[in-house]
Amino acid sequence: MRSSDGVRICALGWRAAAALGDDGAEARVLAALSASVYVEVAGEVLWMGGADATPHARTIHTVGAPPALEVGDVARLPSASGLSAWCPAHGLLTPAAATALRGGATRLTSRVAALGAVRGFGAWLLGEPLAFPLDACGARADALASACAANDATRAADAALALVGLGPGLTPAGDDFVGGAFFARAALARAGAVDAAAWRAGARAVRSAATRLTHPIGAALLGDLLDGEGWAPLHDLASALAHEDDETALDAARRLTQLGHSSGWDLLAGFIAGARG
């Protein structure tokens, strides 16, 4: 076991806090990237990043860079007791706020070009061909967006299964697109604007299939999105749209697109696909 006694945790998400508990816990390394380390702690997938990493329920923010660990290492992480864990503020959505969210998502589509060079499914938002290896996925994205617009949760789940696991990266682009769409539907369901039971059933079907269609890290993060929980800028985006604050929404969308190589763009595209209908 490698010691991580030198790690100082300065912030963390609520899932990370629950997994570490009051005494700290052993962490098994699942993936080690240049600026982050993904670990399994008490059955939960978490990730360690620097103090400025994007807040998420599964994030452990460290003072300085995360420890230098390799896949398969087991490290002891300290307790983070005394720290206030980050938890997304879903807000009290109303049918009126849901209507505002839908309208704002449509308006945001016309401003996507202002966010910079698109990547991943971002091209789909602009009606442009998707680049390899997603070049055959445009019709699949259309199918999911169409199902959301028709408020057909069963058809949306079927369309989602054709996307989960597709694309490169630690979180495949298809996972992020699907997650963004179902995140938006979960927000609308909380507002009473769509059939919550039907969309929960659709999310369960996607979650069940994800265990065989994508890897454990992707499945965990997708599972959160299916429940309507994700990265801070995604929550900020939904909140700003619901409050008809287009400028704050644009800023949140810009922050969202900075996630990963294309993950943020994939999430944004999926969110808009799910929110417009």
* Average model confidence (pLDDT) across the chain: 94
Does a cis peptide bond (omega within 30 degrees of 0) precede residue 216? no
Q: Are strands 59-62 and 9-12 parallel, antiparallel or unpaired?
A: antiparallel
Q: Is the predicted pLDDT of residue 6 greater than 90, yes or no?
A: no
C-beta of residue 175 within 8 angstroms of C-beta of residue 221: yes
pLDDT value for 248: 97
Q: What is the largest CA-CA distance in the chain?
A: 54
pLDDT value for 97: 94
Query: Per residue in 171-199, pLDDT tens?
Result: 899 999 999 999 999 999 999 999 999 99
Classify residue 2 by burial, with Cβ atoms within 10 Å: 0-12, 13-18, 19+.
Answer: middle
What is the reported pTM?
Answer: 0.95
Confidence of residue 239 (pLDDT cuts 50, 70, 90): very high
Lowest mean pLDDT among 158-162, 177-181, 273-277: 273-277
- Residue 140: half-sphere exposure toward Cβ, Cα within 13 Å: 22
- Which residue's entry shows tokens 């206030």? 84
Among residues 218, 232, 235, which one has the least CA distance to residue 54?
232
CA angle 230, 234, 235 (to 5 degrees): 80
Collapsing DSSP to helix, strand or coil, 188 comes out as helix
pLDDT value for 168: 79
pLDDT value for 5: 53
For the record, the structure tokens of 197 come out as 């039971």
Q: Is the predicted pLDDT of residue 3 greater than 70, yes or no?
A: no
As a whole-number percent, the residues of the chain with pLDDT over 90 amount to: 88
pLDDT value for 2: 52
